[in-house]
């Protein structure tokens, strides 16, 4: 396949940046999208040009690093995948593909397609944990009985990889699917109950402080989430915050 | 608790609460309007009650005005804050791939509804307040039906009403279930409530449109 790529190039956080056109030839439909970029980068290196900076780590859909907005959608055209799981067979010979970094004030671009997602880390640090003794005498988790429903629903929420596709695709740059998943993960389990009120208050306060927008329930995040995190997690977070303020 | 309503989620909840109130009001308003199709006397009687009852006039009416103003002001506040949260616009963005047009354009359907409320106030509310409280005219319990008929004679006004109610329908098509979701009621995602939401967003605007068209076609 022959493709035209329109890729966002930005030298640094302070640089203005712009879209640059690249031609790639001999793209195999079996390549992953990241492998296609590897080929392009090798070509740029051979020509003594600056390769395109993009985040990637596991290349098996669990690290959530590949923050690329491809042809107008987070992680490209297919559902429930990250960019490493997107294959070139999803495109046609002669296609023009737009590749842009996540866009949100809270996710500033560091370089090219790499964005700073440390806002998510700070939200986690504000309450996305349980305080347990880790000195080696931790109680066996299986000693506390949990319903199958609670275990499964908490696990579904815990599959969030913090990739930021929810923020990138949201017209309001809202982080509520991410925060909803993290709040739910603990709210559903008995171990998370003790700090539940404090947790949701602190995480939502940090989310607001980071400058994410407000959810208007468009549901775009749920569609684009590579892990299929449900909007019900946002509803649960809303309930948790109301509960925390009433008690 | 005041801190709650300053948080992003608190603002969502307050939008939803005012939306519930306004959606309930729409049912009452339509119920009164629809009587004008069947009986001039009943319509006049209900309008007279609404226009003269002290509880409606001095308790419910201010609450309603507050509800409307609050919903709009908070809507604008959220829109401005959300605009601020966005980075540079994407060169290519395919919003239709993951969300409905209604959900992405609530501010625009809302602005049309706001313009309509402006027209509605000029048409009915200001003359009504002037008639009763400023000019101090004597009560005339049979005047309402004729006033209504006169308003729907010009085709431009009927067209503006129809267009506004179509936009209201689109606003409600997203807003109904969205309000439940904001309140943390996940039943909003279940089929029954979605069906009720779609039915509500069609029946209510259609009812108002039918009233406007009926009087336009039956009175020249």
ipTM score assigned to the predicted complex: 0.93
Looking at the complex, report in whole angstroms how far the Cα of residue B13 sits from the nearest Cα belonging to chain A: 8
Confidence of residue A99 (pLDDT cuts 50, 70, 90): very high
A168, A94: one domain: no
Determine the pLDDT at residue B2: 64
pLDDT tens across A147-164, in order? 999 999 999 999 999 999
Interface check A204 vs B, CB under 8 A: yes
pLDDT, tens digit, 9 for 90 and up, residues B165-191 = 999 999 999 999 999 999 998 755 678
Whether chain B has a CB inside 8 Å of the CB on A69: the answer is yes
C-alpha B219, offset from chain centre:
26
> Are residues A156 and A52 both part of a single domain?
no
The answer on A125 and A106 residing in a single domain is no
Nearest to B154 by CA among B71, B66, B220: B220
Same domain, A121 and A102: no
- In chain B, the residue whose alpha carbon lies closest to the alpha carbon of A219 is B99
Residue with tokens 């329930």: A217
Q: Looking at the complex, report in whole angstroms how far the Cα of residue A34 sits from the nearest Cα belonging to chain B.
A: 20
Q: How many Å from the N-terminal Cα to the C-terminal Cα in chain A?
A: 61
Q: Give, to the nearest 10 degrees, the angle between helix A232-246 and helix B155-182.
A: 70
According to the model, what pLDDT value does residue B191 have? 85
| The total number of structural domains that make up chain A | 2
Same domain, A235 and A132: yes
Q: Of the residues A58, A80, A111, which one is the last residue of a structural domain?
A: A111
Q: Does residue A95 sit in the same domain as residue A157? A: no
Residues B71-120: pLDDT tens digits?
999 999 999 999 999 989 999 999 999 999 999 999 999 999 999 999 99
Report the C-alpha gap between A182 and A203 in whole angstroms: 9
Q: How far is A139 from chain B (nearest CA, A)?
A: 33
Q: A–B: how many Cβ contacts below 8 A?
A: 145
Mean pLDDT of all residues in chain B?
93
- How far is B159 from B154, CA to CA, in rounded Å? 9
Asked if A139 and A231 sit in the same domain, the reply is yes
Tell me what pLDDT residue A201 has.
Answer: 96
The helix or strand, by DSSP H or E, that contains position A7, with its residue range, turns out to be strand A3-9
Does one domain contain both A200 and A153?
yes
- For residues A97 and A68, what is the distance between their CA atoms, to the nearest angstrom? 12
What are phi and psi for residue B182, nearest 5 degrees? -60, -35
- Which of A111, A145, A171 is the endpoint of a domain? A111
Inter-chain touch B7–A238, beta carbons under 8 Å: no
- Return the number of other C-beta atoms located less than 10 Å from residue B183's C-beta: 20
Interface probe, candidates B7, B13, B16, B87, chain A, greatest A C-beta count within 10 A: B87
Residue pair B123/B186 in contact (Cβ under 8 Å)? The answer is no
Torsion of CA A58, A61, A64, A67, to 10 degrees: 100
Tell me: do A133 and A216 sit in the same domain: yes
Same domain, A121 and A237: yes
The 10s digit of each residue's pLDDT in A166-217 is 999 999 999 999 999 999 999 999 989 999 999 999 999 999 999 999 999 9
Per the rule left: phi > 0, alpha: psi between -120 and 50, beta: everything else, B55 is alpha
Chosen domain end from A71, A95, A111: A111
Where residue A229 sits, what CATH number does that domain have? 1.10.1060.10
Residue A68: domain span: 3-111
* A125 & A233 share domain: yes
Q: How far is the C-alpha of A180 from the C-alpha of A186, rounded, in Å?
A: 10
Q: Are residues A183 and A210 in the same domain?
A: yes
Number of H helices, E strands in chain B: 11, 0
Q: Give per-residue pLDDT as tens, A28-42.
A: 999 999 999 999 999
Q: Any idea what the CATH number is for the domain that residue A91 is in? A: 3.10.20.30
Question: Which residues of A fall within a CB distance of 8 Å from B183?
Answer: 238
Higher pLDDT, B7 or A136: B7
pLDDT at B189: 62
- Give the list of residues 6+ apart from residue B17 with CB closer than 8 angstroms, or none: B183
Between CA B166 and CA A38 the distance in angstroms is: 50
């Amino acid at each position: 396949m022959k493709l035209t790529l329109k890729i966002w190039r930005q030298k640094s956080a302070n640089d203005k940046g712009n879209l640059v056109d690249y031609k790639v030839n001999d793209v195999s439909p079996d390549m992953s999208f990241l492998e296609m970029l590897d080929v392009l980068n090798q070509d740029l290196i051979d020509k003594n040009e600056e390769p395109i900076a993009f985040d990637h780590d596991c290349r098996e859909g669990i690290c959530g690093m590949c923050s690329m907005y491809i042809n107008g959608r987070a992680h490209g055209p297919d559902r429930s995948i990250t960019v490493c799981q997107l294959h070139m067979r999803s495109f046609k010979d002669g296609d023009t593909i737009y590749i842009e970094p996540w866009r949100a004030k809270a996710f500033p671009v560091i370089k090219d397609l790499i964005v700073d997602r440390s806002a998510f880390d700070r939200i986690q640090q504000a309450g996305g944990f349980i305080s347990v003794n880790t000195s080696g005498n931790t109680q066996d988790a299986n000693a506390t009985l949990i319903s199958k429903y609670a275990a499964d629903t908490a696990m579904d929420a815990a599959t969030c990889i913090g990739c930021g596709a929810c923020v990138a695709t949201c017209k309001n740059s809202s982080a509520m699917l991410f925060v909803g998943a993290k709040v739910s993960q603990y709210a559903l389990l008995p171990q998370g109950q003790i700090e539940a009120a404090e947790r949701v208050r602190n995480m939502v306060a940090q989310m607001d402080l980071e400058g994410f927008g407000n959810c208007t329930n468009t549901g775009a995040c749920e569609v684009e989430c590579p892990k299929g995190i449900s909007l019900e997690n946002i509803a649960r977070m809303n309930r948790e915050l109301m509960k925390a303020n009433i008690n | 608790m005041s801190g709650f309503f300053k948080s992003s989620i608190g603002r969502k909840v307050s939008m939803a609460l005012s939306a519930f109130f306004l959606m309930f009001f729409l049912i009452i308003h339509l119920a009164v309007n629809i009587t004008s199709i069947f009986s001039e006397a009943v319509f006049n009687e209900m309008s007279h009650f609404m226009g003269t009852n002290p509880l409606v006039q001095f308790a419910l009416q201010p609450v309603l005005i507050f509800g409307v103003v609050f919903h709009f002001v908070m809507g604008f506040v959220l829109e401005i804050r959300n605009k601020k949260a966005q980075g540079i616009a994407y060169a290519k963005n395919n919003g239709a791939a993951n969300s409905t047009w209604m959900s992405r354009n609530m501010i625009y359907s809302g602005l049309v509804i706001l313009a309509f409320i402006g027209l509605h106030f000029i048409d009915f509310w200001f003359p009504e307040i002037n008639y009763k409280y400023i000019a101090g005219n004597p009560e005339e319990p049979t005047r309402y039906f004729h006033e209504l008929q006169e308003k729907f004679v010009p085709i431009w006004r009927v067209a503006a009403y129809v267009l506004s109610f179509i936009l209201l329908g689109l606003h409600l098509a997203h807003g109904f279930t969205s309000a439940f979701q904001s309140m943390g009621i996940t039943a909003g995602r279940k089929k029954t409530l979605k069906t009720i939401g779609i039915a509500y967003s069609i029946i209510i605007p259609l009812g108002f449109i039918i009233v406007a068209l009926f009087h336009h076609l039956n009175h020249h």
